Structure 1
């Protein structure tokens, strides 16, 4: 497979994966159940489906082989499980647009955590993007200040920080297997929500939406996105994830007529614009660096 063909395949996989993922918030809304009930079934079904895929692909999974990697895998599993629970809780307490817009700032929180915890150099353009994203988050909070949705926005902000912690950990340990982490995080999500839930008291239609989400939508999206990282750099894959920030609220608006507040639209524009511009500049610098090294190699 040529480099051009591999890249095209990666872009196709990433686009399809994020397109499938963008229906996540709508499915949670359609379940019409308490967030803890959704969390139990979502976590359990994701664990079963991702675990089944792990069994099928067991020969291709490279398990941690040191104590440090096992500790990192456990920490990443806990963080991802907590983030999934927080996503459901946030969607249940505020507008979908608010949740996905605030969550979109997690890569920039990850850059800040990398500098704070590991003193990883942060380019000035990333620092500027962080400031713009924070302004966007404040715009979203302005739209729900003093309103019932403020709790959901706070949960979304906590979600962004938790997700940033998971992203930072995976950046430091790229050898950790992703798919088993997804399966384990499903178990963590279910255990977090179980003490507060009544998962067997839902309407029959709710179980159908939960099955679609946990057995098909989430595993398929995860598999497509994870597969795309074999053909594209992670920075480019993260650009595709911004599609969810745009499409997620649109699906909910189209199906359930949930309005998009103007401050949320403004905040989303600032956050998505800051992340996209920062990532594009970063990719261009990487390509220039590779091009420069190739020219030096040819000259020698």
Structure 2
């Protein structure tokens, strides 16, 4: 009977490990915080060509990721990582490339508020994909946290919903949530595959599209400095941390923690550019923050209780 309930051999769901679980949570949380600086950095850019921004950001992210792999694995090891990532790595790379480019195009059709609200559905999509493809059980506490996050993001952006519905813009925003969730599930499914070269491939694809579609790649020295930060730190380091951490924790949890990005984003813009967020943004952000922190603390308490030796 136990064999009947076991997942098929093709499903490689890693056994839970409390230490690795905490490491995964911290890495994904760190990635979300790093990504949250994106709006504050973008606010300081003077260039108005979004594809030039995509091009330079992707170039510097690719250089950072390549340098990181060369430092960590050496030239031979780096080549081996690209050769062994296989179709799962290509899939993850295409997912992140699609997400980054769709975000740029979606901004021309719909509001940031609509995009953020659609992206809040990524944990729900990741949870459903995890159940279907990984046979990962999602407990009631996680479902409750997902719903609380969606509600919180809804409150955050309710002041600035677009008056008109754009099927192109909102469709692309939904696509971002779907491909992000898919990348999370693929990373978890193939946890034995290092996905740093995969995200490097993704930003290389983004750079190719940006270069081909940009009106000009000429930017000021000031903008170039910000684009180095935007690419290497915000995108490159964030992606490296996310794909490293996402393979260690359940897909729904990884996508859930990543929603810390829209919580911290307005705070950095407030501090660095004196843009005071609306009251609903603060209330919704607090809702999301409390839901995520509560869920993380519950996960850690659960893992500690599981790790404790049984009394004699």
Q: Deviations over 1:198-250 (max 9, x none)?
A: 242444432231123224554455566778x59xx647988986664443212
Shift of the alpha carbon at 1:76?
A: 0.6
| Cα gap change, 1:18 to 1:117, in 2 (>3 Å) | closer
**Aligned: 1:44 with 2:59:** yes
> Which structure has the highest helix share of the two?
1
3-state DSSP of counterpart to 1:31: coil
3-state DSSP of counterpart to 2:310: helix
Q: Deviations over 1:32-76 (max 9, x none)?
A: 33322211111122112211222222256673787xx51111001
Give runs of aligned pairs for residues 105-254 of structure 1, distance below 5 A.
106-147=122-163, 156-221=173-238, 234=249, 244-254=261-271
Shift of the alpha carbon at 1:170?
A: 0.7
Query: Which residue of 2 is the match for residue 53 of structure 1?
Result: 68
Matching residue within 26, 35, 39 for 1:25:
39
Root-mean-square deviation (Å) = 4.2
The 2-side partners of 1:177 and 1:22 are apart by 24
The 2-side partners of 1:167 and 1:226 are apart by 8
**TM-score under structure 1 length normalisation:** 0.73
| Cα gap change, 1:121 to 1:169, in 2 (>3 Å) | same
Contact 1:64 / 1:176 at 8 angstroms: preserved in 2? no
The 1-side partners of 2:159 and 2:198 are apart by 35
Matching residue within 262, 282, 297 for 1:280:
297
The 1-side partners of 2:131 and 2:23 are apart by 33
The 2-side partners of 1:123 and 1:249 are apart by 31
Query: Which residue of 2 is the match for residue 265 of structure 1?
Result: 282
The 1-side partners of 2:288 and 2:128 are apart by 15
Unaligned 5+ segments in structure 1 are 1-5
| Cα gap change, 1:42 to 1:157, in 2 (>3 Å) | same
The 2-side partners of 1:203 and 1:65 are apart by 37
Contact 2:156 / 2:281 at 8 angstroms: preserved in 1? yes
Shift of the alpha carbon at 1:167?
A: 0.9
